[in-house]
């Protein structure tokens, strides 16, 4: 076993390595937004974080796509990779590593790993007969296919019959160890419903699976038998390991695994659960590598209640969406609207109405009206108070004092939409509190100290909310903090923990207010439905 020296303040997480057969779609954007939000939450709490994303570039699917375009596969991949990088840039994704399976160092890692599994006696040559879906890059059981051998996921594509010599991985050797893994570490697969799926699948008995292909050049040759190319999934999963190498470091498994392994969280869609929760741990056990901590399979997105796809003609281009509405809007919608793990829907009217209600009205107006009142009633200076000066039974204080810990727990449990709900509970209570306590009439009555207490309590609630929402809407949170007179930028994630520690900033009524407030400007403008 490779030694595990990783300390528990280091957090490593991955998105899938996306196929480069086409430009990124909304599903890839969804997983990557989730990963970025989780990475930012961990950083906010002081962890050293490594967020890995990247691309899966080998295999028949990519080779054929390149061929159709009349391009060399590498040139095709290089083009598509740029569109991924561009999307992550405009979505404000702060990834630390971009792992490409065509990275020359990756071949060394795959070769060494293959050799370990080979030496273990877990690889053998046999005849593979079966139906292969190139779009899934997976053999299918006849019963899994639709009429005329169409794939149930890629319904417009027919699976192809294969009868060829392939190298196989002895997955069946790992039946018992996998069952023990799921039993002893119930959190290994999440959510619970996905765990049950996998446990039931494994219970039916595991079959060995083929890990090489013939008649395919685009990939790495099998060591000692270059007629065969290593199966794209065997190669791709190891992309997570290659990503851990430092720049310029020699590409050995030992180096790659020395600092950031084991991965704490593989975030994936439910369709690729079997690869991550069954094949991957078995491959790792075979190679003597410690297992990742958790695999989380999120749900699928539909559009207006329908499965999205080119054949249906209802795809949603994430670049258009961000260009039209901005990164924070898109990030917020997917985090707040979809309970992580469940399927979710995109509907433009709902998208606009949620953003207008939450970000423009509840949050944006709250900040705006509060700053406006401070200009009017306090000569533009934030009241110099602390939470101690606010009555203990003040509603905002009551909610605020526990909110940081509650939201931290929701974030840790990956209940991201619940975290939003809790934060917006304070935001809505703040609006209500202003309406009910009517500081404008107290001001007229000369009750200055009461006015200041109200405005302080509200201002502090806005600040805390902005802080806790910063992993989700970093640009808006930064604007709010700057209007409150701080110079903190939530996009400078590596400096955050010195400037705005979670210990201090997640509390209510403790951060010293900055007397000089920034210039009030709307943080989120109301959206209109496109005409």
Q: Kindly state whether residue 30 participates in binding ligand MSP, applying the rule CB under 6 A.
A: yes
Q: How far is the CB of 308 from ligand MSP (least distance, A)?
A: 5
Helix (H) or strand (E) holding 265: strand 265-269
DSSP of 38-77:
HHHHHHHTT-EEEEEEEEE--SHHHHHHHHHHT--HHHHH
How far is Cα 394 from Cα 224, in angstroms, rounded to an integer? 73
| Smallest separation, CB 37 to ligand MSP (Å) | 15
CB of 82 to ligand MSP, least distance (A): 16
Of the listed pieces 15-23, 138-146, 206-214, 326-334, which binds ligand MSP according to CB under 6 A? 15-23
* Minimum gap (Å) between residue 10 Cβ and ligand MSP: 21
Beta strands in 134-245 (DSSP E): 138-140, 160-169, 189-190, 209-210, 212-213, 221-222, 225-230
State the number of binding residues for ligand MSP (CB under 6 A). Answer: 19
Match 């209007």 to its residue by tokens: 483
Q: Name the residue nearer to ligand MSP (CB basis): 77 or 458.
A: 77
Among residues 16, 326, 341, 439, the one that binds ligand MSP under rule CB under 6 A: 16
Binding region for ligand MSP (CB under 6 A) out of 26-34, 109-117, 383-391, 448-456: 26-34
CB of 402 to ligand MSP, least distance (A): 34
Pick between residue 16 and residue 439 the one whose CB is nearest to ligand MSP.
Answer: 16
Interface pattern 199-238 for ligand MSP (x via CB under 6 A): -------------------------------------xx-
Rounded to a whole number of angstroms, the minimum distance from the CB of residue 171 to ligand MSP is: 17
Between the CA of residue 526 and those of 319, 329, 480, what are the distances in Å?
20, 11, 16
How far apart, in Å, are the Cα atoms of 450 and each of 162, 377, 381, 389, 443? 79, 11, 15, 11, 8
Q: Residue from 11, 19, 84, 481 that binds ligand MSP (CB under 6 A)?
A: 19
Q: Using omega within 30 degrees of 0 as the cis cutoff, is the peptide bond preceding 443 cis?
A: no
In SS3 terms, 303-370 reads as ECCEECCCCCCCCCCHHHHHHHHCHHHHHHHHHHHCCCCCCEEECHHHHHHHHHHHHHHHHHHHHHHH
Question: Which is closer to ligand MSP, CB of 44 or CB of 295?
Answer: 295
Residues 261-280, one symbol each (x = binds ligand MSP by CB under 6 A, - = not), give: -------xx-xx--------
Polymer length in residues for the chain: 531
Burial of 94 (0-12, 13-18, 19+ CB in 10 A): middle
Kindly state whether residue 308 participates in binding ligand MSP, applying the rule CB under 6 A. yes
Please, which residue, 338 or 434, has the CB nearer to ligand MSP? 338
Report the nearest approach of ligand MSP to the CB of residue 54 (Å): 9
Read off the tokens for 44: 């906010």
**With helix as H, strand as E and coil as C, how does 429-454 read?**
HHHHHHHHHCHHHHHHCCCHHHHHHH
Residue 80 engages ligand MSP in binding (rule: CB under 6 A): no
When the beta carbons of 25 and 422 are compared against ligand MSP, the nearer one is 25
Judged by CB under 6 A, the residue of 13, 285, 301, 335 near ligand MSP is: 301
Could you tell me the sign of the dihedral formed by the alpha carbons of 292, 114, 82, 352, in that order?
Answer: negative
> Measured from the CB of residue 302, what is the shortest distance to ligand MSP in angstroms?
7
273 or 382, CB closer to ligand MSP? 273
Apex 306 CA angle, 143 and 82, nearest 5: 90
Q: Please, what is the minimum distance in Å from the beta carbon of residue 137 to ligand MSP?
A: 8
The pair of structure tokens assigned to 126 is: 């046999």
Subset of 51-70 contacting ligand MSP (CB under 6 A): 56
Out of 98, 118, 201, 300, point to the residue binding ligand MSP (CB under 6 A).
300
Residue 298 Cβ vs ligand MSP, minimum distance, rounded to whole Å: 7
To the nearest 10°, report the CA torsion of 300, 28, 216, 124: -60
Single out the residue of 27, 318, 471, 474 in contact with ligand MSP (rule: CB under 6 A).
27
In the block, residue with structure tokens 């595990």: 4
Query: Which 3-state string (H, E, C) describes 379-427?
Result: CCECCCCCHHHCCCCCHHHHHHHHHHHHHHHHHHCCCHHHHHHHHHHHH
Applying CB under 6 A, which residues contact ligand MSP? 16-19, 27-28, 30-31, 56, 236-237, 239, 268-269, 271-272, 300-301, 308
């Amino acid at each position: 076993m490779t030694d595990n020296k990783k300390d528990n303040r280091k957090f490593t997480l991955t998105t899938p390595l996306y196929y480069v057969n086409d430009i990124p779609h909304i599903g890839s954007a969804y997983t990557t937004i989730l990963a970025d939000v989780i990475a930012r939450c961990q950083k906010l709490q002081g962890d050293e974080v490594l967020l890995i994303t990247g691309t899966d570039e080998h295999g028949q699917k990519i080779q054929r796509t390149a061929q159709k375009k009349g391009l060399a596969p590498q040139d095709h991949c290089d083009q598509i990779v740029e569109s991924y990088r561009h999307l992550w840039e405009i979505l404000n994704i702060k990834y630390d590593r971009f792992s490409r399976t065509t990275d020359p160092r990756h071949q060394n890692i795959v070769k060494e790993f293959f050799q370990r599994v080979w030496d273990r006696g877990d690889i053998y040559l046999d005849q593979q007969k079966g139906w292969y879906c190139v779009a899934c890059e997976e053999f299918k059981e006849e019963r899994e296919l639709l009429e005329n051998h169409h794939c149930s996921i890629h319904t417009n594509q027919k699976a192809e019959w294969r009868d060829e010599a392939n190298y196989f991985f002895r997955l069946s050797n790992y039946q018992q160890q996998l069952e023990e893994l799921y039993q002893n570490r119930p959190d290994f697969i999440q959510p619970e419903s996905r765990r049950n799926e996998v446990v039931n699948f494994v219970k039916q008995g595991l079959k060995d699976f083929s890990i090489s292909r013939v008649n395919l050049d685009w990939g790495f040759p099998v060591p000692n038998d270059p007629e065969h190319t290593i199966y794209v999934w065997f190669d791709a999963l190891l992309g997570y390991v290659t990503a851990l190498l430092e720049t310029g470091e020699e590409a050995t498994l030992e180096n790659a695994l020395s600092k950031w392994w084991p991965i704490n969280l593989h975030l994936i869609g439910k369709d690729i659960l079997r690869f991550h929760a069954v094949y991957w741990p078995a491959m790792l056990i075979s190679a003597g590598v410690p297992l990742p901590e958790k695999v989380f399979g999120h749900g699928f997105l539909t559009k207006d209640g329908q499965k999205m796809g080119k054949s249906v003609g209802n795809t949603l281009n994430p670049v258009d969406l961000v260009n039209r509405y901005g990164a924070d809007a898109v990030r917020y919608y997917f985090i707040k609207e979809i309970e992580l793990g469940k399927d979710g829907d995109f509907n433009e009217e709902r998208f606009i109405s949620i953003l207008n209600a939450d970000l423009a009205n509840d949050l944006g107006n709250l900040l705006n009206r509060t700053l406006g009142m401070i200009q009017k009633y306090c000569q533009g200076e934030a009241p110099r108070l602390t939470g101690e000066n606010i009555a203990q039974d003040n509603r905002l204080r009551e909610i605020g004092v526990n909110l940081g810990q509650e939201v931290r727990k929701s974030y840790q449990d990956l209940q991201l939409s619940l975290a939003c709900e809790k934060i917006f509970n304070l935001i809505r209570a703040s609006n209500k509190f202003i309406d009910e306590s009517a500081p404008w009439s107290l001001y007229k009555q000369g009750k200055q100290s009461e006015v200041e207490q109200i405005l302080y309590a509200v201002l502090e609630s806005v600040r805390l909310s902005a802080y806790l929402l910063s992993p989700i809407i970093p640009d808006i949170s930064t604007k709010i903090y700057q209007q409150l007179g701080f110079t903190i930028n939530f996009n400078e994630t590596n400096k955050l923990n010195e400037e705005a520690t979670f210990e201090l900033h997640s509390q209510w009524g403790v951060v010293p207010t900055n007397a000089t407030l920034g210039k009030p400007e709307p943080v989120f403008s109301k959206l209109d439905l496109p005409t």
